[in-house]
Amino acid sequence: MSHDSYADQYIRGILNSVKTIAVVGVSPNTIRPSYFAFKYLLERGYRMIPVNPGHAGRELLGQTVYAKLADIPEPIDMVDVFRSSEHALGIVQEAFALKPLPKVIWMQLGVRNDEAARLAEANGIKVVMNRCPKIEYGRLSSEIAWMGVNTRTISAKKAPLPTRGIQRLSLDRPTLSGGATGAATRAQSKTGS
């Protein structure tokens, strides 16, 4: 398979079929892309499992952090690689010890390792490289289209704010895991609810 581009049907099929995602290299630092992607997918109902040896045993957004894939006590559908390209082959080899095997190895933006991809595919595992599941989910579900992203229209003009019929999305909303952001908590206390 060519990994220079992917059909939307291929990406959509993966995002619709996987339920449990182990994110190797996720950071608890709230300004890191791995944290944003992890939180976003968790809020979309995926079972997210953080893997980072430097934070093993702690929690990230209510999920136990594991040191390595082999420590995870449940089946994994997808391994999301948030490490540099040279680490991808070792992560794929580590995934082969899992029973059952994951269905997908997904390498994040900027991560491409053709040897790791060939090895995974030779063992029946689908591969995506140099893509972010958070971005792909938002693009394919049209969640990011409300901001003008993915509309195929480029303009320097500020989009008019909707006046009727469209509710603005709020970034300060409760998460599926039951937590709430600081701004949502402050807003709730001001209204006395």
- Give the model confidence (pLDDT) of 26-84 as tens digits: 999 999 999 999 999 999 999 999 999 999 999 999 999 999 999 999 999 999 999 99
pLDDT band at 126 (very low <50, low <70, confident <90, very high): very high
- The answer to the question of residue 55 being in a domain is yes
- The answer to the question of residue 125 being in a domain is yes
- CA pseudo-torsion sign 12, 16, 22, 28: positive
| Element housing 190 (H / E) | helix 182-191
The Cα–Cα gap between 121 and 115 comes to 10
- The answer to the question of residue 193 being in a domain is no
The DSSP line for 23-42 is EET--S-TTSHHHHHHHHHH
Query: What CATH number does the domain containing 125 carry?
Result: 3.40.50.720
- The answer to the question of residue 40 being in a domain is yes
* pLDDT greater than 80 at residue 145: no
Report pLDDT for 190.
54
Report pLDDT for 40.
93
- The answer to the question of residue 170 being in a domain is no
Count CA atoms closer than 13 A to 169's CA, side-chain side: 6
pLDDT digits (tens, 9 = 90+) for 113-124: 999 999 999 999
Please state the domain count of the chain.
Answer: 1
The Cα–Cα gap between 58 and 54 comes to 10
Report pLDDT for 59.
96
Task: Quote the tokens at residue 127.
Answer: 């591969």
- The answer to the question of residue 188 being in a domain is no
Geometric angle at alpha carbon 147, from 143 and 163, rounded to 5°: 105
Report pLDDT for 170.
30
Distances in Å between the alpha carbon of 79 and those of 52, 131, 150, 165, 166?
A: 13, 13, 26, 40, 36
Domain span at residue 19 reads 8-140
Strand order in the sheet with 47-51: 47-51, 20-24, 78-81, 104-107, 126-128
Geometric angle at alpha carbon 135, from 67 and 64, rounded to 5°: 25
- The answer to the question of residue 74 being in a domain is yes
Residue of 184 and 77 predicted with greater confidence: 77
* pLDDT greater than 70 at residue 192: no
Q: Which of 82, 80, 84, 113 shows the shortest CA–CA distance to 95?
A: 80
- The answer to the question of residue 93 being in a domain is yes
The model carries a pTM of: 0.75
Residue of 188 and 131 predicted with greater confidence: 131
